Amino acid sequence: MKKPVLKISDLDVVSKSQNTSKTILSKLNLVVNKGDTLGIVGETGSGKTMLGWSIINLLPNGCFLKNGDIKFNGKNIFEVKNLRGENISMIFQDPMHSLNPTQTIEKQMTAIIKKWRIGEKNSTKDEIKKWIGKVQLNSVFDIMGRYPHQLSGGQIQRVMIALAMCVRPKIIIADEITTGLDANIKLEIMDLLFSLQKETSVALVFISHDLFLIRRYCDRVAIMNSGKIIAEDSTKNIFNSKKYKEIRSLIGVDFGEKKFKKVEKDFSERIALAVRGFNKSYGNKINKNHAVRDVSINLYYGKTLGVVGESGSGKSTLARMILNILDRNSGQLKLTTDEINIENLRIPSGEISAVLQDHLGSFNPKMNSYDVLLEPLELKGITGKKIIENRIKNMVRDVGLNNNILTRRPYSLSGGQRQRLSLARAMITEPKIIIFDEPTSALDPKIQKRIVDLLKSLQKEKNLTYLFISHDLSVISQISDYVAVLYSGKIIESGLAEKVLNNPKQDYTKKLIESSFWMENR
């Protein structure tokens, strides 16, 4: 019989704001045994991330443990010295916010090892090299000397796994660690994490809305809804037993297949935004990294360009240059909605808006959600208390949020809720062009579909123009009229979405499609 390392009993967690109180976790019971691989699934906002925070005793401001207890090896978590870090490690949903941007990877790993592994004779540098090697990062010394912003999404996640494992914890909580990664990197990261887990017998709690990964890697599954665990069983039973069919439907429907928009054939002359010869490189003459190389694209009125490519291909860099957030080495940009050049155009503006990948970092931490949505309306000059309130409430409803989030600050929301808030902020001024950088990456399939359907209906109603960046080709296939494939900063293939995704010419594109739709053929 396996020994429990974690036992949660009748857990109640509440959030208090001004005069209101909301139950986030309710009567929650859970047991995690040594060496367990437990998957936690549920809709966005079901309480998955809050459960992880509760286990490590790191509840956000305004949230409190009301009832129940959490025991680690039979002891209350509040009584266990050095629980977080030495005994329980957590890989957070937003890894960039877990790392110090001013310190190298080596310096941050050194601090963690020295803090939690006091008195060990092993060289700290040797330990760092060992774990950087274990997570299969090439060029060990190069990685150790880099800063977080100099790493790709896949590299960052490998570093986070190394940071979590190097203290030899008893439990690892992995919260949406594949968000924003392409299909190939997702599988690489998961294979790596679970191989290390089996090697060390650490218990693993894997929080995700990705049912395919849950099914592939987990031994047991707990399904959450409205802060409660409504079902818990072996993975085989959860996915194959008829009695769980209705419960699984709460999680939503998986895309996992190609469905294409009907594309108007004669739209190619109606250009809304023209990008010509964009280039961006980092480093010096000897060691130069070309992030974007001679990229030219057109955005057409009322249409969606889907930009795809693996992590590090230059997708986000391209978006940030278009938005003038990032300087480019060369290239021209022209906004033709009103025949003006946008070299100095303030973003966001009435003409163009954006949903960026780092949605948490784009919010003012001093603002609540209502003020986040109010700010772009005021910048556009929209007045009238009633008009503003109605627009905010309608936008919140359209993206699948409840009005009760309006009094909460973004950092207290789940990753999926924050992402939907970002969508609401981008669309609330009714811009002509919207740039989306991984807008559905942290959303469960049900909300994903709702957001995609919303974006399509708004586009049709208001003749909106989209640049849509995503790793998820099933989402790309459903929202895009045409597609551009980026590889090492260059566009290697482009055309109508259906043509490119059904009949790719480049081997790289074929590989992307095969890995993205691997679940279709299982």
169: helix, strand or coil: coil
Task: Give, in order, the Cα–Cα distances in Å from 154 to each of 81, 189, 310.
Answer: 33, 7, 10
Q: How confident is the model at residue 496 (pLDDT cuts 50, 70, 90)?
A: very high
Q: How many residues are listed for the chain in this entry?
A: 522
- Above 90 in pLDDT, residue 203? yes
* Dihedral angle, C-alpha 251, 257, 258, 260, nearest 10 °: -30
Residues 6+ apart with CB under 8 A from 209: 41, 42, 43, 44, 176, 251, 416, 442, 443, 444, 445
Model confidence over 421-461: pLDDT tens digits?
988 998 898 888 999 998 887 677 777 887 888 888 888 88
| Low-confidence winner among 308-322, 334-348, 476-490 (lowest mean pLDDT) | 334-348
Distances (CA, A) of 114 to 16, 142, 320: 37, 22, 38
Name the DSSP class of 285.
S
pLDDT of residue 489: 93
| Residue owning tokens 């409840």 | 402
Tokens, residue 514: 């095969």
Residue 419: predicted pLDDT: 80
The CA distances from residue 472 to 49, 77, 183, 258, 514, in Å, are 22, 38, 8, 11, 12
Residue with tokens 């049912």: 211
Average pLDDT over residues 198-207: 92
Beta strands in 256-324 (DSSP E): 271-283, 288-300, 304-308
Which of the two residues, 64 and 311, has the higher pLDDT score? 64
**For residue 520, what is the DSSP state?**
G
Enumerate long-range contacts of 283-290, CB under 8 Å, 24 or more apart. 290/488, 290/489
- pLDDT category of residue 521 using cuts at 50, 70 and 90: very low
Strand partners, 222: 40, 232
pLDDT band of 379, cuts 50, 70, 90: confident
Domain range 35-57+82-248, CATH class:
alpha beta
Res 184: pLDDT:
76
307, amino acid identity:
V
pLDDT(348) > 50: no
pLDDT interval class at 252 (50, 70, 90): low
Does residue 337 register a pLDDT over 60?
A: no
- With contact defined as beta carbons under 8 Å apart, do 179 and 441 qualify? yes
Which of the four pLDDT bands, split at 50, 70 and 90, describes residue 228? very high
Top-confidence residue, 445 or 520: 445
CB neighbours of residue 49 within 10 Å: 25
Residue 340 confidence (pLDDT) above 50: no
pLDDT band at 366 (very low <50, low <70, confident <90, very high): confident
- The residue extents of the domains of the chain are 35-57+82-248, 271-351+431-521
Q: What is the mean pLDDT of residues 307-311?
A: 88
Instruction: Specify whether the CB–CB gap between 291 and 489 falls below 8 A.
Output: yes
Q: Residue 32: its pLDDT value, please?
A: 94
Q: Per-residue pLDDT tens for 155-183? A: 888 888 888 888 888 999 999 888 777 77
Q: What is the mean pLDDT of the chain?
A: 83
Question: Which SS3 state, helix, strand or coil, does residue 253 take?
Answer: coil
Token readout for 318 is 């391209």
How far is 485 from 140, CA to CA, in rounded Å? 30
Q: Which of 253, 245, 247 is nearest to 223 (CA)?
A: 247
Q: How large is the average pLDDT for residues 458-486?
A: 90
pLDDT of residue 120: 60
CA distances from 480 to 100, 149, 347, 501 (A): 37, 29, 24, 11
CB-based contact 253:445 (threshold 8 Å): yes
- 321 vs 81, higher pLDDT: 321
Helices (H) and strands (E) in the chain, counts: 17, 19
In this structure, is the dihedral angle defined by the CA atoms of residues 507, 509, 510 and 515, taken in order, positive or negative? positive
Orientation of helix 415-427 relative to helix 369-379, angle to 10°: 20
Q: For residue 60, is the peptide bond before it cis, meaning its omega torsion is within 30 degrees of 0?
A: no
In the chain, the percentage of residues whose pLDDT exceeds 70 is 86
Distance of alpha carbon 44 from alpha carbon 46, whole angstroms: 6
Q: For 393-405, write each residue's pLDDT tens digit.
A: 999 988 888 888 8
Average pLDDT on 120-131 reads 76
What's at 449, amino acid-wise? K
Kindly give, in sequence order, each residue whose CB lies less than 8 Å from that of residue 224, ignoring residues fewer than 6 positions away.
40, 41, 42, 46, 47, 48, 51, 230
pLDDT (0 to 100) of residue 388 = 93
Asked whether the whole model's pTM tops 0.75, one would answer no
Count of C-beta atoms within a 10 Å radius of residue 3: 9
User: Would you say the CATH fold of 271-351+431-521 matches that of 35-57+82-248?
Assistant: yes
pLDDT higher than threshold 60 for residue 345: no
Q: Which residues pair with 281 in a beta bridge?
A: 290
Give the pLDDT of residue 522: 40
pLDDT for position 341: 45
Instruction: Return the higher-pLDDT residue of 304 and 415.
Output: 304
Region of poorest pLDDT, from 142-151, 272-281, 312-321, 433-442 = 142-151
Other CB atoms within 10 A of residue 277 CB: 12
Tell me if 414 sits within 8 A of 360, measured CB to CB: no
Average confidence (pLDDT) over 488-495:
94
Q: Which of 496, 182, 495, 437 has the alpha carbon at shortest distance from 309?
A: 182
Confidence bin at 260 (pLDDT 50/70/90):
low
Q: Which residue has the higher pLDDT, 387 or 258?
A: 387
Query: For 498-515, what is the mean pLDDT?
Result: 88
The pLDDT assigned to 412 comes to 80
pLDDT per residue as tens digits for the range 29-65:
999 999 999 999 988 778 998 999 999 888 888 888 8
Q: CB of 82 within 8 A of CB of 60?
A: no
Evaluate the CA torsion angle 415, 416, 420, 421 in order and state its sign: negative
pLDDT category of residue 217 using cuts at 50, 70 and 90 = very high
Under CATH, what is the fold of the domain 271-351+431-521? Rossmann fold (3.40.50)
The segment with the largest mean pLDDT, out of 302-306, 329-333, 452-456, is 302-306
Which class for 85: exposed (0-12), middle (13-18), buried (19 or more C-beta within 10 A)?
middle
The per-residue pLDDT for range 87-125, each reduced to its tens digit, is 899 998 777 777 888 898 889 888 888 877 655 656 688
Cβ distance 231 to 244 under 8 Å? yes
Percent of the chain with pLDDT over 90: 31
Per-residue pLDDT, averaged over 71-87, amounts to: 81
